[in-house]
């Protein structure tokens, strides 16, 4: 099941001029110690935004020693003063169990209050709970409405996740055109996943005219924003020469970056590059390690390729029993070749 990630809001804007505003200036200049002192002063003077921002300083350990309990108390004070960001961040604390006992139901109530107070992130986070069925009954239709509100309030993650619901027909009628438009808006708002999914739309020609060159640019932007999936997809285009000049070395570098960002398919493809010696010096040992990492990340083809490595003794000691084990894992993850190879080895008594 896909999990929608909740997000902690960065800074609260204060209706008070003075200490909180000066704190924000110091924060933006990278002077976190001064920022924290100014937020503390603003909070003492009754600025809810100052309390929320000071809470954020404690949560991130910027300018003060990290302390989630103190952060939660400050968010609570800010929320009580009508600051939506404070309510949203307190909800995040409850959802993650940071400084308070984890409680999704309480998180949902706080996100709901934040959303009512105009916090786009509060709306998004409540949508994520409905999407995942955490603290509330799973309800894609409710999630879609909340993402829509968050998107309208300028939250790129809200636009992206609403697009994903339209892509998959969850809680809304499936509509690739609407999905691609939402991904485009999300990308424009700095959502790397929005850029990546818009790239997929162009690569597949779903909701937009197929255009690999445009897809490549979008994957490049997503990759630059730290999205492993974007790096992997861009690598695949270089591997296949789609929208860009075929270049195995560039593909391998992109797979490496994707793998480093936790993208299992990137790890598996980098392993294939090492096994084949495409764009990189052939190294079966490294390939096997990458297949193992991909398998650990739940990638069926990674488990399958590791099974092949053990069956053929490439980069690892030949071991049919271990090969069978990995073919079984691949099969469980939906890799049909893994199922067939598992059955073959099973019949041979391994």
The residues spanned by each domain of the chain are 1-120, 292-350
- DSSP labels, 199-240: HHHHHHTSSS---HHHHHHHHHHHHHTT-HHHHHHHHHHHHH
How many residues does this entry show for the chain?
A: 350
C-alpha count within 13 angstroms, C-beta hemisphere, residue 140: 16
User: Distance of CA 78 to CAs 1, 35, 44, 85, 297, Å?
Assistant: 34, 17, 11, 8, 39
| Lowest mean pLDDT segment, chosen from 13-22, 26-35, 67-76, 325-334 | 13-22
Grouping H, G, I as helix, E, B as strand and the rest as coil, residue 313 is coil
Compute the average pLDDT of residues 36-62: 94
pLDDT tens for each residue of 95-126: 999 999 999 999 999 999 999 999 999 999 99
CA distance 311 to 318: 6
Grade residue 276 by pLDDT with cuts at 50, 70 and 90.
Answer: very high
Grade residue 3 by pLDDT with cuts at 50, 70 and 90.
Answer: low
Compute the average pLDDT of residues 160-171: 97
Q: What is the pLDDT of residue 6?
A: 59
pLDDT tens for each residue of 177-218: 999 999 999 999 999 999 999 999 999 999 999 999 999 999
Secondary structure (H, E, C), 142-201: HHHHHHHHHHHCCCHHHHHHHHHHHHHCCCCCCCHHHHHHHHHHHHHCCCHHHHHHHHHH
Compute the average pLDDT of residues 54-63: 96
Q: What is the pLDDT of residue 15?
A: 47
pLDDT of 2 > 70? The answer is no
Q: Could you tell me the maximum CA-CA distance found in the chain, to the nearest angstrom? A: 78
pLDDT of 266 > 90? The answer is yes
pLDDT of 16 > 70? The answer is no
Q: What is the pLDDT of residue 1?
A: 40
CA distance 189 to 151: 9
pLDDT of 338 > 80? The answer is yes
Q: What is the pLDDT of residue 215?
A: 98
pLDDT of 307 > 80? The answer is yes
Compute the average pLDDT of residues 248-258: 98
Pinpoint the alpha helices (H) of the chain.
Answer: 19-28, 32-44, 48-60, 68-80, 84-96, 104-116, 120-132, 140-152, 156-168, 176-188, 192-204, 212-224, 228-240, 248-260, 264-276, 284-296, 300-312, 320-332, 336-347
Compute the average pLDDT of residues 24-29: 92
Is the domain covering 1-120 a CATH 3.30.360.10 domain?
A: no
Which structure tokens are listed for 312?
A: 């053929």
Q: What is the pLDDT of residue 5?
A: 60
Grade residue 350 by pLDDT with cuts at 50, 70 and 90.
Answer: confident
Grade residue 170 by pLDDT with cuts at 50, 70 and 90.
Answer: very high
Average of per-residue pLDDT values in the chain? 95
Q: What is the pLDDT of residue 12?
A: 53
């Amino acid at each position: 099941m896909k999990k929608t990630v909740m997000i902690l809001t960065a800074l609260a804007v204060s209706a008070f001029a003075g200490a909180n505003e000066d704190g924000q200036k110091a924060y933006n200049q990278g002077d976190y110690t001064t920022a924290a002192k100014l937020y503390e002063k603003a909070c003492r003077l009754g600025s809810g935004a100052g309390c929320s921002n000071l809470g954020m300083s404690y949560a991130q350990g910027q300018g003060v020693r990290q302390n989630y309990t103190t952060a939660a108390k400050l968010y609570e004070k800010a929320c009580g003063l009508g600051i939506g960001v404070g309510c949203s961040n307190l909800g995040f604390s409850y959802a993650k169990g940071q400084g308070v006992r984890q409680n999704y139901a309480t998180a949902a109530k706080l996100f709901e209050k934040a959303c009512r107070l105009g916090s786009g992130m509060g709306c998004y986070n409540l949508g994520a709970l409905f999407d995942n069925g955490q603290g509330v009954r799973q309800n894609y239709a409710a999630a879609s409405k909340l993402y829509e509100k968050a998107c309208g309030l300028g939250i790129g993650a809200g636009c992206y996740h609403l697009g994903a619901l339209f892509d998959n027909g969850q809680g809304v009628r499936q509509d690739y055109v609407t999905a691609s438009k939402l991904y485009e808006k999300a990308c424009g708002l700095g959502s790397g996943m929005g850029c990546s999914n818009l790239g997929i739309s162009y690569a597949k020609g779903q909701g937009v005219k197929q255009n690999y060159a445009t897809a490549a640019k979008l994957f490049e932007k997503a990759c630059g924003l730290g999205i492993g999936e974007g790096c992997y997809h861009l690598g695949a285009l270089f591997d296949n020469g789609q929208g860009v000049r075929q270049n195995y070395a560039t593909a391998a570098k992109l797979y490496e970056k994707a793998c480093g960002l936790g993208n299992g398919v990137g790890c598996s493809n980098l392993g294939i590059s090492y096994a084949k010696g495409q764009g990189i010096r052939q190294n079966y040992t490294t390939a096997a390690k990458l297949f193992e990492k991909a398998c650990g990340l739940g990638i069926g083809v990674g488990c399958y390729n590791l099974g092949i490595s053990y069956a053929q003794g490439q980069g690892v000691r030949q071991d049919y029993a271990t090969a069978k084990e990995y073919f079984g894992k691949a099969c469980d993850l939906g890799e049909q070749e893994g199922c067939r190879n598992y059955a073959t080895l099973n019949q041979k008594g391994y």
